[in-house]
Structure 1
Amino acid sequence: MRDGLATHLAALWRYGLVLSGNRDVAEDLVQATCLRALERRSQFQPGTRLDRWLFSILHSIWINEVRARVVRQGAGFVDAELALVVDGGREIETNILASQMLTEIGRLPEAQRETVLLVYAEGYSYREAADHLNVPIGTIMSRLAVAREKLAQATGDRPAKEEDETRDRDERR
C-alpha cells in the first residue's frame, strides 16, 4: 500500500489542487487521503485500480470538508459545486498560457472542473470518469462539451469540434 501511495502522490496533489484551488489545502487533502488509505487498507479490493480508490477517498474528504466549513460558518448545508473559490492560478505555473488556462479551469463549476481533470489530466476514459463520479456517461460528455466551450470563449480560441466529436464517438463504443 505504501509503495502504491508513493506512485500516486503527484496525481492526488493535482486533484486536490483542482478541487481546492489552494496548494496548502491540496497538500492537506493528500496527507489526509494517505492516512485514511493506510488506516482502511483492508477495504481496498486487490485487482482494482489503486489510483481510482485514492481519488474517491480524496473526493470524499474534500466534500466533507466543504460541508463542515459551511456548517461551522453558520450557513447550513451547501451544494459542493457552489463552494469553491480559486485563489492563486498564477502561482500554479510560471508559463503565462498555462497559468491562464489553469485559472479559467478554476473558474468552471466544480463538476466540470473535476471532469476536465479526470479525463484530460489523469487520462480517465469517459466511462471511468462516469463511474468515479457516479453519473451517466452522457453527463460526462455534456460537462466536457460545456467546459470546452467556456474555455474556448475565455481564451479566444475556437474549440476543436471535429477532434472532440471523434473522441466522444469513440468513447461511446
Structure 2
Amino acid sequence: MKEEITELLPRLRRFAYSLTGSLSDADDLLQNTVERLLTRDMPDDADLTKWAFRVCRNVWIDECRARKVRRDAAEHPELTDGQVINGEHQTTKEIEWHRVDAAMAKLPQDQRQIISLVAIQGMPYKIVAEILEVPKGTVMSRLARARAALSEALTPATMRTDS
C-alpha cells in the first residue's frame, strides 16, 4: 500500500493545491493526508485512489472548520477565556460602538425604535408595523430617515464638505 500511496503523491499534491490555492498549505494538507492514510485502516471495499482523495478532502474540510473557529475566537475575544487577542482592534471597535450609540441617541424615538427593530433585531417591516401599530410604508419612510440621519452623524465632517 505504501508504494501505491507513493505513486498517488503527485496527483494528491495537485488536488491539495486545487483545494488550498497555496503551495505551503497544499504541502501541509498532503502531509496530513498521507499521515491519515498510513495510520488508518482502509475500508475493505474501498479503492485506494478514491479513498485517498476522499481523505484529503475531509482533512481539508476539518482544517477549514478549525480555521473558522480560530478566526471567530480572534474576532470575538469575549467568547474566549477573557483574553484580549488584539487590544487595538478591540479598542477601535469600542470607539465605533460609542459613536453609533451617540448617533442613535440623537435620533427621534420613532426612528430609533424602527432602526432597532429592523436593523438590530432583524425583524421584517410587516412585523415592525404590527408591533408599532403603524402602516408598513411609515416603517419604511422612518427607517430611511433614520438611516440617513445615522449616516450623516457617522460621516466625518471633512468628508461631508468634500461632496
TM normalised by structure 2 equals 0.42
Question: Which structure ranks higher in relative contact order (CA pairs < 8 Å, sequence separation ≥ 6)?
Answer: 1
Greater helix fraction, Structure 1 or Structure 2: 2
Q: Which has the larger radius of gyration?
A: 2
TM-score, with length taken from structure 1:
0.40
